[in-house]
Structure 1
């Protein structure tokens, strides 16, 4: 399954949803292969299943069930997919299309792509090719740094106490 998520901020990401409909209509992907969380988008998909919002459990269930995640440049969506070893295609929301207040998602997606954790595209028309390309790619596994940070803090606090 392909899980499409556009986040929960009060901005639309219509051009992504429209492109998915085009790919389904042209039989590039099957309608039964796609589920989208469309958030505040005003475009409602015609040819695939969707829901405006998912609660946390539903969101994580969709991530577990999918093989590919197509997402905006939200760190939560990206990290949830990467942590679970999913193939992630990141597409930044763009200010010029009224999809966000600025273009910061370019930097977020670029960092993840440069770290070989996700595949990124900017031009929505590259999505069809990206879906083919990503299936043959291997990505770097997510490694949590939490334990290392806790150890550093513990060492620091122990020095302060002694």
Structure 2
């Protein structure tokens, strides 16, 4: 199963439509948390919002977690040891109040278990490669400390 989530603050109809079209053309089950968007999926199961336990269970059971480029979902995916494929909302399309998600794709893609896409074509290509994706265990405190340090540096503007 592929789990898709857009978060709770903004709709992300473009991602939901991309994944609905992918579900139409592929055999794997897709389940999405679609938020308050206007697009209604026709080819995948969905809910507008999920409770925390169900949300985390879907992440855990997924072969890949497809998400907006939000740190909360990246952290949740890493806790469940599920690879996450993030695609950014675009300010130019009215999907967010600025382009911080686009700016963050480069450094997000350097995090273990995090894969990135910025177009529908790249998203589909990465989904096709999901069997090769992995997410390391969070038990390694050194890696967790490195992630925390990297995020702190990014917030302060000193990350590479």
Q: CA deviation at 1:134?
A: 3.1
Query: Partner of 1:145: helix, strand, or coil?
Result: helix
Task: Identify the residue that residue 20 of structure 2 maps to in structure 1.
Answer: 21
> Per-residue displacement from partner, 1:3-50 (whole Å, max 9, x unpaired)?
0000000x2211111111211222x343xx111000121111011100
CA distance in 1, matches of 2:95, 2:7: 11
Tell me the equivalent position of 1:76: 72
Stretches of structure 2 lacking an aligned partner (at least 5 in a row):
150-160
Partner of 1:2: 2
- Kindly state the Cα deviation for residue 115 of structure 1 after the two structures are TM-superposed: 2.9
Q: Distance in 2 between matches of 1:94 and 1:122?
A: 9
Deviation at 1:108, TM superposition (A): 3.2
Larger Rg computed on CA atoms: 1
- The TM-score with structure 2 as length reference comes to 0.80
Cα deviation, residue 113, structure 1:
0.7
* Partner Cα separation in structure 2 for residue 96 and residue 126 of structure 1: 19
Give, in angstroms, the shift of residue 137 of structure 1.
3.4
TM-score, structure 1 as length reference: 0.79
**Retained in 2: the 8 A contact 1:90–1:121?**
yes
Specify the alignment match of 1:48 in structure 2.
Answer: 44
Do the aligned residues in 1 keep the contact of 2:56 with 2:80 (CA within 8 Å)? no
Task: Name 1:124's counterpart in structure 2.
Answer: 120
2:133 match: 137
Q: How large is the RMSD of aligned CA atoms in angstroms?
A: 2.2
Give me the whole-angstrom Cα distance separating, in 2, the residues matched to 1:61 and 1:141.
Answer: 17
| Helix, strand or coil at the partner of 2:97 | coil
Kindly provide the CA deviation profile for residues 74-130 of structure 1, in whole angstroms up to 9, marking residues without a partner as x.
111111002221111010111111111011112333222123431101012222211
